[in-house]
């Protein structure tokens, strides 16, 4: 009996675990229970310390190091009461994963016993050995030290584990020279840059004290669930996160019967359990539903400040994985775990603003507010048009390459969808001035001839990579496995540049005596005339768009290796340097790490394909072939005129598989290239095609080999048995 058939019986025997909600507990009761949040700090910190910390969190005032001891001591007491034995600086290295180094609170004292200690300096700074994290040349192994530094703006929390709890402190991770080795550092830098420019624009619009402007991010996470028995019987899923073999099942997603359908009971139990854990950590899980493919689901928390949203997103992924295991399932975040089936993305919803002003991407009630809204929208148009390549690079990975450009995810061409109405307003602006608003018959002409805009944009376009959705833009190209920090750093920085441009133009015009409303009109006209080519309201999946986009001069960077060089282009390096987000060395380091990760990912897949092909698929096929040959011989000797063609055909495919495996082995044993780029190109040009050839033969065999001999759980089983 194959592992595969045993797995099927095991799924039947699954008994769901009981979950916390089962009692009379109200969801609100646990929310933020494990977070060192504002309420906890207010209660436990001396008043002056609390005020100082809040000034840093809410207004971006530099942290006063003198408060650290008081905060550390309160944090320690709180964490010990929550059963924590250790504390950990949590950071976000360039692997895209979360890293943590745990230390015990206990420190020995002279009488031989130990006391729980946690000093301010330990809270503020840590020194993990950085040598095994990718740095893209920023750090040599002889200076292996990396420094973690407390990020006051992202709350500390206690992470529960059956064997002991840990106080987790979100931190930045930098080299000895202060260069970023992580994703949080640039995110914080870019928020600051964007905020400063947005505040300039707001001041011009008459806000005397606009307050601290931040960027908000609401990530929608798609994922697959498969029963763990199947998962463990698929070494490719286990090690590469995606299936490297598998014929298309007779039934796929063509019935459209899964999307927004009733959530299966077992999955709902998992979701409830996950949400409870997320609530404890203060993560505002909000929306859950089935996705397009069988076995595919989505969770979307409420949007938060980009920095907190990014940390929460990482924690959300870890939590989903942990709770799925508890429910006998595996949660898959790969962008394309199953070929021919819908892939998974992570839409990044972006806006900017603050508590007082709300989202600056919402049209207001007066023409003046609308003028301000249109300037912020125009800034998005300029940013996306000028730096489309950078946005594409911010979502480039070997795994997301399987999804982008396939007819299910936005194409690799970055364009903006504005919706009919807003697009119409901008068209009128392009012609000189906007005097009417399309779908509403009546309109109010204001001082500056801009119309009153309704707040509901009405229409939706799922094929656009960057879509206006009423109060925010939705960037749909990020992959389900990626951190939202990278696209957010890019969006913040290109917005900083665009808002800087807007503020400077307006200031210059006003200084030259132009009245403000005319200056705004001129600015909008200039932006839409120069950058309007990036606005596209049609079907992004159509072939026609590929042609039209090329005519408009929009880049179409199909694969990771086409996109990554954007990072080290002159305009990109200048941009990031100007706004203090990355220096040139840091940009080069990200480029190098991107290449390395690409080659590593494909290298693992190639070795797995070779191993599984040689030790699972080929033996099954050969056994089947032998049976068929024995059968044919027996028929012949019984004097029956049996048809040898099926055996000949099978033998042909087995030979194809052998040949393809041989070629893959050869591609894997060539001399390593001298540069990261060389390795990445080898992966793309040699390994990927060789893997595809192995898979093609293996998938044919799956349709021919006797079911009881087939070793790997099939698509049918993994996608439909939960």
Q: Going along 590-652, which residue ranges are E strands?
A: none
Kindly state whether residue 270 participates in binding ligand ADP, applying the rule CB under 6 A.
no
Q: Which stretch binds ligand ADP (CB under 6 A): 165-173, 301-309, 485-493, 607-615?
A: 301-309
Among ligand ADP, Mg ion, none, the one that 613 touches (CB under a kind-dependent 5 to 8 A) is: none
Among Mg ion, ligand ADP, none, the one that 216 touches (CB under a kind-dependent 5 to 8 A) is: ligand ADP
Residues 561, 319: Cα–Cα separation, whole Å: 32
Q: Which is nearer to ligand ADP, 241 or 301 (CB)?
A: 301
Total residue count of the chain as it appears in this document = 722
Q: Which stretch binds ligand ADP (CB under 6 A): 61-69, 214-222, 640-648, 688-696?
A: 214-222
Among ligand ADP, Mg ion, none, the one that 351 touches (CB under a kind-dependent 5 to 8 A) is: ligand ADP
Residues 651, 485: Cα–Cα separation, whole Å: 51
Can you say whether the dihedral through the CA atoms of 353, 359, 361, 362 is positive or negative? negative
Q: In this structure, are residues 173 and 98 in contact, taking their beta carbons and an 8 Å threshold?
A: no
Q: Which stretch binds ligand ADP (CB under 6 A): 144-152, 189-197, 215-223, 711-719?
A: 215-223
Q: In this structure, are residues 578 and 171 in contact, taking their beta carbons and an 8 Å threshold?
A: no
Q: Which is nearer to ligand ADP, 99 or 283 (CB)?
A: 283
Kindly state whether residue 359 participates in binding ligand ADP, applying the rule CB under 6 A.
yes
Among ligand ADP, Mg ion, none, the one that 302 touches (CB under a kind-dependent 5 to 8 A) is: ligand ADP
Residues 6+ apart with CB under 8 A from 322: 277
User: Which residues ranging from 462 to 481 are in contact with ligand ADP (CB under 6 A)?
Assistant: 471-472
Kindly state whether residue 447 participates in binding ligand ADP, applying the rule CB under 6 A.
no
Question: Least distance in Å: CB of 302 to ligand ADP?
Answer: 4
Q: Over the Cα atoms of the chain, what is R_g?
A: 28
Name the closest residue to ligand ADP (Cβ). 218
Q: In this structure, are residues 414 and 525 in contact, taking their beta carbons and an 8 Å threshold?
A: no
- DSSP labels for 6-21? HHHHHHHT--PPP-GG
Among 90, 99, 204, 300, binds ligand ADP (CB under 6 A): 300
Q: Which is nearer to Mg ion, 220 or 566 (CB)?
A: 220
Residues 348, 328: Cα–Cα separation, whole Å: 29
- For residues 173 to 212, the per-residue mask of contacts with ligand ADP, x marking binding by CB under 6 A and - elsewhere, is ----------------------------------------
Kindly state whether residue 291 participates in binding Mg ion, applying the rule CB under 5 A.
no
Q: Phi then psi for 3, rounded to 5 degrees?
A: -50, -35
How many binding residues for ligand ADP (CB under 6 A)? 14
Place of tokens 């095991």: 10
- DSSP labels for 279-334? HHTT--EEEEEE-SSTTEEEEEEPPEEHHHHHHHHHHHHHHHHHHHHHTTEEEE--
Beta pairing, strands 296-301 & 285-290: antiparallel
Reference 349, options 309, 409, 408, 391; nearest CA is 309
Q: Which is nearer to Mg ion, 220 or 586 (CB)?
A: 220
Place of tokens 């994703």: 183
Q: Which is nearer to ligand ADP, 304 or 562 (CB)?
A: 304
Q: Is 569 exposed, middle or buried (0-12, 13-18, 19+ CB in 10 A)?
A: middle
Question: Least distance in Å: CB of 312 to ligand ADP?
Answer: 11
Among 216, 245, 333, 376, binds ligand ADP (CB under 6 A): 216
Q: In this structure, are residues 144 and 115 in contact, taking their beta carbons and an 8 Å threshold?
A: no
Question: Least distance in Å: CB of 251 to Mg ion?
Answer: 25
Kindly state whether residue 303 participates in binding ligand ADP, applying the rule CB under 6 A.
yes
Kindly state whether residue 491 participates in binding ligand ADP, applying the rule CB under 6 A.
no
Q: Which stretch binds Mg ion (CB under 5 A): 194-202, 220-228, 308-316, 582-590?
A: 220-228
Question: Least distance in Å: CB of 263 to Mg ion?
Answer: 14
Q: Token pair of 518, please?
A: 């005319």
Q: In this structure, are residues 128 and 146 in contact, taking their beta carbons and an 8 Å threshold?
A: yes
Q: Which is nearer to ligand ADP, 243 or 351 (CB)?
A: 351
Kindly state whether residue 222 participates in binding Mg ion, applying the rule CB under 5 A.
no
Q: Going along 1-150, which residue ranges are E strands?
A: 84-91, 99-104, 106-108, 114-116, 125-126, 146-150
Instruction: Give Dmax over CA atoms of the chain in angstroms.
Output: 105
Kindly state whether residue 220 participates in binding Mg ion, applying the rule CB under 5 A.
yes
- For residues 276 to 295, the per-residue mask of contacts with ligand ADP, x marking binding by CB under 6 A and - elsewhere, is -----------x--------
Interface residues toward ligand ADP, by CB under 6 A: 216, 218, 220, 287, 300-303, 349-351, 359, 471-472
Interface residues toward Mg ion, by CB under 5 A: 220
């Amino acid at each position: 009996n194959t592992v595969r058939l045993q797995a099927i019986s095991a799924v039947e025997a699954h008994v769901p675990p009981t979950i916390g909600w089962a009692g009379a507990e109200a969801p609100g009761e646990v929310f933020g229970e494990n977070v060192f949040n504002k309420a906890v700090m207010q209660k436990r910190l001396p008043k002056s310390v609390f005020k100082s910390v809040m000034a840093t969190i809410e207004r971006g005032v530099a942290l006063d190091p003198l408060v650290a001891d008081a905060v550390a001591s309160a944090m320690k007491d709180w964490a010990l009461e929550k059963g924590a034995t250790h504390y950990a600086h949590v950071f976000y290295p360039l692997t895209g994963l979360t890293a943590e180094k745990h230390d015990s609170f206990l420190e020995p004292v002279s009488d031989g016993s130990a006391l729980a200690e946690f000093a301010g300096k330990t809270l503020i700074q840590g020194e993990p050995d950085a040598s095994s994290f990718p740095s893209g040349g920023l750090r040599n192994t002889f200076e292996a030290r990396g420094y973690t530094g407390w990020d006051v703006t992202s709350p500390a929390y206690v992470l529960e584990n059956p064997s002991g709890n840990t106080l987790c402190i979100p931190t930045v991770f930098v080299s000895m020279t202060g260069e970023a080795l992580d994703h949080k550092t640039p995110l914080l830098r870019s928020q600051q840059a964007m905020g400063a420019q947005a505040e300039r624009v707001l001041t011009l619009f008459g806000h005397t004290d606009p307050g601290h402007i931040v960027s908000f991010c609401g990530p929608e996470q798609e994922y697959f669930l498969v029963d763990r028995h199947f998962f463990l019987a698929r070494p490719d899923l286990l090690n590469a996160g995606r299936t490297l073999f598998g014929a298309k099942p007779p039934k796929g997603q063509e019935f459209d019967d899964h999307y927004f359908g009733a959530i299966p009971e077992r999955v709902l139990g998992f979701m409830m359990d996950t949400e409870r854990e997320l609530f404890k950590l203060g993560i505002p899980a909000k929306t859950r539903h089935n996705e397009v493919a069988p076995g595919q689901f989505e969770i979307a928390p409420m949007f938060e400040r980009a920095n907190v949203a990014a940390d929460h997103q990482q924690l959300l992924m870890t939590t989903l994985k942990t709770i799925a295991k508890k429910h006998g399932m595996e949660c898959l975040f790969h962008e394309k775990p199953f070929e021919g089936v819908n892939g998974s993305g992570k839409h990044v919803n972006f806006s900017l603003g603050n508590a007082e002003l709300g989202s600056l991407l919402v049209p207001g009630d007066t023409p003046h507010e609308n003028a301000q809204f249109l300037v912020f929208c125009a800034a998005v148009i300029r940013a996306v048009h000028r730096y489309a390549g950078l946005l594409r690079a911010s979502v480039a990975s070997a795994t997301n390459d399987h999804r982008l450009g396939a007819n299910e995810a936005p194409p690799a061409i970055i364009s903006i969808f504005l919706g009919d109405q807003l697009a119409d307003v901008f068209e009128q602006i392009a012609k000189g001035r906007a005097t009417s608003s399309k779908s509403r018959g009546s309109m109010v002409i204001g001082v500056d001839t801009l119309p009153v805009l309704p707040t509901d944009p009405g229409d939706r376009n799922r094929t656009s990579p960057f879509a206006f959705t009423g109060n925010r833009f939705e960037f749909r190209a990020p992959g389900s496995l990626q951190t939202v920090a990278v696209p957010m750093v890019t969006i913040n920085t290109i917005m900083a540049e665009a808002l800087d441009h807007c503020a400077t133009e307006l200031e210059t015009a006003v200084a030259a005596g132009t009245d403000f409303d005319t200056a705004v009109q001129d600015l909008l006209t200039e932006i839409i005339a120069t950058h309007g080519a990036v606005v596209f309201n049609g079907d992004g999946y159509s072939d026609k768009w590929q042609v039209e986009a090329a005519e408009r001069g929009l880049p179409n960077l199909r694969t990771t290796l086409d996109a990554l060089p954007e990072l080290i282009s002159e305009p990109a390096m200048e941009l990031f340097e100007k706004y203090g987000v990355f220096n040139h060395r840091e940009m080069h380091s990200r480029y190098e790490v991107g290449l390395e990760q690409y080659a590593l990912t494909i290298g693992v897949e190639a070795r797995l394909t070779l191993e599984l092909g040689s030790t699972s698929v080929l033996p099954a096929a050969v056994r089947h072939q032998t049976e068929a040959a024995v059968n044919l011989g027996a028929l012949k000797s019984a004097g029956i005129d049996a048809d040898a063609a099926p055996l000949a055909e099978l033998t042909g495919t087995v030979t194809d598989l052998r040949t393809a495996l041989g070629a893959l082995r050869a591609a894997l044993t060539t001399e390593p290239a001298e540069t990261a780029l060389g390795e990445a190109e080898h992966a793309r040009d040699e390994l990927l095609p060789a893997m595809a050839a192995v898979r093609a033969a293996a998938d044919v065999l799956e349709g021919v080999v006797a079911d009881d001999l087939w070793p790997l759980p099939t698509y049918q089983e993994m996608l439909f048995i939960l």
